[in-house]
Amino acid sequence: MSSIKILHWVPAYGGSIDVRIAGQVQVDCSAMTKLGFGYQFWWTDSSDLPRSRNHALEMAIDKGFDYILMQDSDIYVPRVSPMAMLLQTAIDKQAVMTGAICGLRRISHDSVPPNVRPYKQGEVYEVERIGTGLVLIDCQQVAKWRDEYDGPWFARTYHDARQTSIDFGEDFFFCAICARFGGIMFADGRIPTVHAYTDHLHLRYPPEDTGGEQSP
C-alpha cells in the first residue's frame, strides 16, 4: 500500500468541538504515523454546513489528499482510532464512502434511531445511505466524477417550493450522488461512537456500550 494522505476535518461552528475529540485526534494521528501515512487536521467555522462540506471536499481533492475524514463536532470515538478502522474497510471494499454508525439526536430513552439504512449492528456491510457524522470519503473516486457533474456534493432538498419541509439532508444528498455514479458505501459497525449531546451516555453506538473512556 503506497503512502496515503488523509485530511481530518471537523465543521466547528464558533470554533467549538467536544473536548473528547481532541483525545481521539491524537489517537488517529498516532495510528496514521505508525502506518507511515500523511495526516492533517483542519476545522471550519461556519453555520452553513452544506457549503462547508462542499468546500472541504473540493479542497481535499485539489490539495491531493486521498481521503477526507468528516467528523461532526459532537461525535467522538473512545478507546480506538476510527480513522484506522474506516481506512482499512475503505481500502478492502474500495468504497467511496465508509462511515461509523451514530445515534441520531432524537431524544427518546426507549429508542435511539441509527443514521444508516439498512441497519445491522456490529457488522461491516454495504449500505444505501449513511449520515455524515463520522465518514471517510475517497477523494480520488469523487474527483473522477467532476467532469460529468458540476453541482454540489452536499445540499438540502425540500418537499415544497417554500422549503419548509426537508426531503433530503446534505448527507443523504451525497449518498444519492454516490449511487448515481456507481460508488459503493459501507458502514463499519465495529466502531463505538458517542453523540455527545444532552444525555451523551444514552446516545451511544452500540446501544449496550456503557462508556469506559480510558483515563491517563
The DSSP line for 120-168 is -TT-EEEESEE-TTEEEEEHHHHHTTTTT--S-SS--EESSTT--SEEE
Alpha-carbon radius of gyration of the chain: 17
| Residue partners of 86: CB distance under 8 A and separation at least 6 | 69, 98, 99, 100, 134, 135, 136, 188, 191
Residue 96 placed within a domain? yes
Q: Taking 80 as the threshold, does the pLDDT of residue 209 lie above it?
A: no
Residue 214 placed within a domain? no
Residue 212 placed within a domain? no
- What is the number of structural domains in the chain? 1
pLDDT in tens, 67-87: 999 999 989 998 899 999 999
Task: Supply 78's cell numbers.
Answer: 473512545
Query: Is 187 exposed, middle or buried, given 0-12, 13-18 or 19+ CB atoms closer than 10 A?
Result: buried
How sure is the predictor about 210, in pLDDT bands with cuts at 50, 70 and 90? low
Domain limits at 130?
A: 5-205
Distance, in Å, from the CA atom of 5 to the CA atom of 140, rounded to the nearest integer, reads: 11
Give the percent of the chain with pLDDT over 90. Answer: 67
How sure is the predictor about 109, in pLDDT bands with cuts at 50, 70 and 90? very low
Residue 189 placed within a domain? yes
Q: Taking 50 as the threshold, does the pLDDT of residue 39 lie above it?
A: yes
pLDDT in tens, 161-186: 887 877 777 888 999 999 999 999 99
| Residue partners of 44: CB distance under 8 A and separation at least 6 | 9, 10, 11, 12, 52, 55, 56
Residue 130 placed within a domain? yes
Q: Taking 60 as the threshold, does the pLDDT of residue 26 lie above it?
A: yes
- Here the CATH number for the domain that contains residue 105 is 3.90.550.40
Residue 215 placed within a domain? no
Give the percent of the chain with pLDDT over 70. Answer: 87
Please tell me the pTM assigned to this model. 0.90
Distance, in Å, from the CA atom of 174 to the CA atom of 169, rounded to the nearest integer, reads: 9
